């Protein structure tokens, strides 16, 4: 009776390559492949090179869903930003992404467009994929978002702001006081000689950090006692054209102002354009201070005095706190209040030269 050897089953071309396939091809155990993917430095160089070569040859992509089911979390970190058009947040995200990638975590980015409801939807979707950690922007969340973040069981960092009281924060906070930024901007204008200072802001109804800077301006005006606050804030996006329009409105109603605080540098650039059109001198007739230290700020005519936020340091410290927590290290303090830098340029006079 003739017998035949059973045919060896071959993998269909449409089936996904598994970790076991990689282990068999590299002649190592699946646990070695798993360790290499999680902590390559923990695998001997000889085995690491062999596993890496097989992964490249087979085009293996880890199944993060299966991995998260086994380990109760994935190797991803969810990051929610209000906007990707704003270079402040872009610098922070680039720093976060670089540090997480170096630690073999990947970022999952969501953009809320300053909407608490959209942020809630994104966080619910991200948490369904068992992220290792969450990074969100600010403290203005819906109650459902706060409940989800408080009960998700993974490290949470709220960045780019500082709570007025500890209970306002859900997790670790890394940022700075926007209220103090508003006071810093306004105080500088008074100290350099201005006597009637106005404030212009945009997107104030969406971004509560703009509202906090406005509050800081108003507090400093009232502390000085020279005049009543003059602030014009609009829901429009902060653009150069909006800055031209707002300063035109203020100068029409208050032609005697001699200083203006702007909620960001794009508005301040619009102010510079408009006062040039009106044949006013900066800073002799009108001193101008912005926020953000955007790339054009040092090259516009005249160079713009502004407040430089620590966007890279926010990203670095946020990632550091999360990676420490993922390694089981409890760090203190939980609230990291960073410093902003006042960068004095030609749009204001040096302090004491008024």
- Per residue, what are the HEC states of the chain? CCCCCCCCCCCCCCCCCCHHHHHHHHCCCHHHHHHHHHCHHHCCHHHHHHHHHHHHHHCCCCCHHHHHHHHCCCCEEEEEECCCCCHHHHHHHHHHHHHHHHCCCEEEEEECCCCHHHHHHHHHHHHCCCCCEEEEECCCCCHHHHHHHHHCCCCEEEECCCCCCHHHCCCEEEECCHHHHHHHHHHHHHHCCCCCEEEEEECCCCCHHHHHHHHHHHHHHHHHCCCCCEEEEECCCCCHHHHHHHHHHHHHHCCCCCEEEECCHHHHHHHHHHHHHCCCCCCCCCEEEEECCCCCCCCCCCCCEEEECCHHHHHHHHHHHHHHHHCCCCCCCCEEECCCEEECCCCCCCCCCC
Q: Minimum mean pLDDT among 12-26, 114-128, 188-202, 328-342: which range? A: 12-26
Q: Is the same domain home to 189 and 288?
A: yes
- Confidence bin at 329 (pLDDT 50/70/90): confident
Q: Which domain holds residue 36?
A: 19-61
Is the pLDDT at 352 greater than 70, yes or no?
no
Q: What is the pLDDT of residues 87-107, one digit of tens each?
A: 789 999 999 999 999 999 999
Q: Is the same domain home to 117 and 101?
A: yes
Q: Is the same domain home to 326 and 231?
A: no
Mean pLDDT of 1-5: 44
For all residues of the chain together, what is the average pLDDT? 89
pLDDT (0 to 100) of residue 1: 45
pLDDT (0 to 100) of residue 71: 53
Identify which of 27-31, 68-72, 81-85, 164-168 has the greatest average pLDDT.
Answer: 27-31
Residue ending a domain, among 61, 94, 111, is: 61
Structure tokens at 240: 């150069």
Mean pLDDT of 39-48: 89
Residue 80 and residue 137 in contact, taking contact as beta carbons nearer than 8 Å? yes
Is the pLDDT at 86 greater than 90, yes or no?
no
CA distances from 148 to 129, 154, 253 (A): 14, 11, 47
2 part of a folded domain: no
Q: Is the same domain home to 228 and 127?
A: no
Q: Which residues contact 305 (CB under 8 A, 6 or more apart)?
A: 188, 287, 288, 289, 290, 342, 343, 344, 345, 346, 347, 348
CA distances from 294 to 26, 122, 239, 309 (A): 50, 29, 13, 10
Identify which of 72-76, 145-149, 222-226, 334-338 has the greatest average pLDDT.
Answer: 222-226
Q: Is the same domain home to 189 and 301?
A: yes
Q: Is the same domain home to 294 and 187?
A: yes
- Confidence bin at 57 (pLDDT 50/70/90): confident
Structure tokens at 127: 């948490």
CA distances from 258 to 44, 182, 329, 347 (A): 68, 17, 52, 12
Is the pLDDT at 73 greater than 80, yes or no?
no
Tally of domains within the chain: 3
Is the pLDDT at 124 greater than 60, yes or no?
yes
317 part of a folded domain: yes
Q: Is the same domain home to 183 and 300?
A: yes
Mean pLDDT of 148-163: 92
Q: How would you classify the pairing of strands 133-137 and 76-81?
A: parallel
Mean pLDDT of 110-117: 93
Nearest to 271 by CA among 293, 296, 294, 246: 246
Please calculate the CA angle 204-206-208 and round it to the nearest 5 degrees.
65
Q: Is the same domain home to 247 and 185?
A: yes
Q: Is the same domain home to 81 and 92?
A: yes
Q: Is the same domain home to 184 and 170?
A: no
9 part of a folded domain: no
Q: Is the same domain home to 317 and 172?
A: yes
Distance CA 123, CA 185 (A): 34
Q: Which residues contact 12 (CB under 8 A, 6 or more apart)?
A: none
223 part of a folded domain: yes
Mean pLDDT of 6-23: 61
- Confidence bin at 19 (pLDDT 50/70/90): confident
Q: Is the same domain home to 319 and 271?
A: no
pLDDT (0 to 100) of residue 178: 96
Q: What is the pLDDT of residues 167-213, one digit of tens each?
A: 788 989 999 999 999 999 999 999 999 999 999 999 867 788 999 99
The CATH number assigned to the domain holding 128 equals: 3.40.50.2300
Nearest to 248 by CA among 272, 274, 266: 274
pLDDT (0 to 100) of residue 2: 46
Is the pLDDT at 8 greater than 90, yes or no?
no
The crossing angle, in degrees rounded to 10, of helices 240-253 and 265-277 is 50
183 part of a folded domain: yes
Percent of the chain surpassing pLDDT 70: 90
The CATH number assigned to the domain holding 28 equals: 1.10.260
345 part of a folded domain: no
Q: What is the pLDDT of residues 223-254, one digit of tens each?
A: 999 999 999 999 888 899 999 999 999 999 99
pLDDT (0 to 100) of residue 59: 72
- Confidence bin at 58 (pLDDT 50/70/90): confident
Nearest to 300 by CA among 318, 315, 282, 279: 282
Q: Which residue has the higher pLDDT, 37 or 279?
A: 279
Residues belonging to the chain: 354
What are the φ and ψ backbone dihedral angles of 252, each rounded to 5 degrees?
-70, -40
Structure tokens at 70: 């086994």
Is the pLDDT at 15 greater than 70, yes or no?
no
pLDDT (0 to 100) of residue 67: 55
């Amino acid at each position: 009776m003739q017998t035949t050897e059973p045919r060896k089953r071959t993998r269909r071309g449409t089936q996904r390559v598994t970790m076991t396939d990689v282990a068999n091809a590299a002649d190592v155990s699946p646990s070695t492949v798993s360790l290499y993917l999680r902590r390559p430095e923990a695998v001997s160089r000889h085995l690491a090179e062999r596993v890496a070569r097989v992964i490249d040859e087979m085009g293996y992509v880890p199944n993060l869903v299966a991995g998260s089911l086994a380990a109760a979390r994935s190797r991803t970190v969810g990051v929610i930003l209000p906007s990707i058009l704003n270079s402040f947040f872009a610098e922070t995200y680039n720093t976060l992404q670089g540090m997480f990638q170096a630690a073999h975590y990947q970022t999952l980015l969501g953009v809320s467009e300053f909407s608490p409801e959209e942020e809630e939807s994104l966080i619910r979707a991200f948490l369904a994929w068992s992220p290792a950690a969450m990074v969100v922007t600010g403290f203005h969340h819906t109650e459902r978002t706060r409940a989800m973040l408080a009960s998700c069981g993974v490290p949470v960092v709220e960045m780019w702001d500082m709570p007025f009281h500890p209970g306002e924060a859900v997790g670790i906070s890394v940022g700075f006081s926007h209220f103090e930024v508003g006071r810093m901007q306004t105080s500088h204008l008074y100290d350099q000689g201005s006597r009637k200072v106005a404030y212009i802001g945009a997107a104030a109804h969406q971004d509560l950090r703009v509202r906090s800077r406005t509050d800081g301006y108003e507090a400093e005006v009232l502390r000085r006692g020279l005049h009543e606050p003059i602030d014009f804030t609009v829901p429009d996006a902060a653009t150069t054209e909006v800055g031209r329009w707002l300063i035109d409105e203020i100068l029409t109603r208050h032609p005697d102002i001699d200083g203006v605080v702007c909620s960001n540098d794009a508005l301040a650039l619009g102010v510079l354009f408009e006062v040039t059109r009106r044949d006013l001198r900066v800073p002799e007739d009108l001193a101008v201070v912005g926020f953000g230290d955007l790339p054009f700020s040092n090259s516009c005519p005249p160079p713009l005095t502004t407040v430089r936020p620590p966007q890279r340091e926010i990203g670095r410290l946020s990632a550091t706190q999360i990676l420490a927590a993922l390694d089981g290290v409890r760090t203190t303090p939980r609230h990291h209040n960073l410093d902003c830098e006042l960068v004095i340029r030609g749009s204001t006079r040096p302090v004491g030269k008024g």
